[in-house]
Structure 1
Amino acid sequence: MATIMECKHVKECKRKAEIWQENQEKYSAIGQHELDDFLELYDDKKAAIKMDQHFEKRCVERAISTSDVTSILEFGWVIERNETLGNVSVVLLGFTGKPYKPLHVVYHIVSERKWVAVTAYRPISQPWKWSKNYDKRICFCVKDGEL
């Protein structure tokens, strides 16, 4: 039987979430602009997406189809943009299936013409980490409940 996880550090996660959201309001807009530019090139066949092995493995494990991922790329929007040691990644949110279920797809931006799909997951598998609409991270605990 699966254990239901919950936030173990509500006050600290709330503090981190406020800072995170303030930053993401700035950086998600940049990421959305990057996505829009990429899609324009992608539609003209001047850009490509590579799917790494981890991404492919996780999609199989999580029963996420190629058409789900394509749909998120086409109709989803950027909810997070992260830059770590010069590497830029974006998290896209969209809804797939019937009934519609949220899906997050994470892309590493290699260049304006090359993106790598890194992972995909259904945020409903960890509902305590996300706002009601799955568009804002609200818990920063890791699996063992530590920050």
Structure 2
Amino acid sequence: MSVQSAPRQNDTAQDRPRWTDLVEAVREAGQYPTTAEAERVIRIVMSALGGHVIGDERVDLARALPEQAARVVASQIPATRPLTAAEFVDTVAARIEGATPATARWDVSSVLSVLPPLLGDDLVDRILTQLPPGYALLFGRPQLMPTARPRTA
């Protein structure tokens, strides 16, 4: 199941994607057996992400999400320092009983990889610019590395 595309700036709450559509997209992406499991993972991952996206990007992120997910993002206190992608996954693992870094990475990717159609490329790019390298992969995008310029003599 796909989720709706990114809302326009002047859209109302009724135009937001539905929570049930987001849950179903994450359930399918993560192959979770129940919607309850998908909902739990969404709340944990969005809670972790909410502290690391700041400023206009955080506001725009909340506007683009279903209301339930937007509240989770908006309620987070901004982090005191940016986490690497690996540290981010580790913080999610610490919030999930019995999780390992591998299972937490699966959970994080299952949620973040369904967000680009909701958010739109521009907002995803802006969010990724705020975050340390490595997050693009979690959003289901290739991690592009700057190419070295050839030296000229």
Q: What range is the shorter-chain TM-score in?
A: under 0.3
- Give the structure with the larger helix fraction: 2
TM-score (norm 1): 0.26
- Give the structure with the larger strand fraction: 1
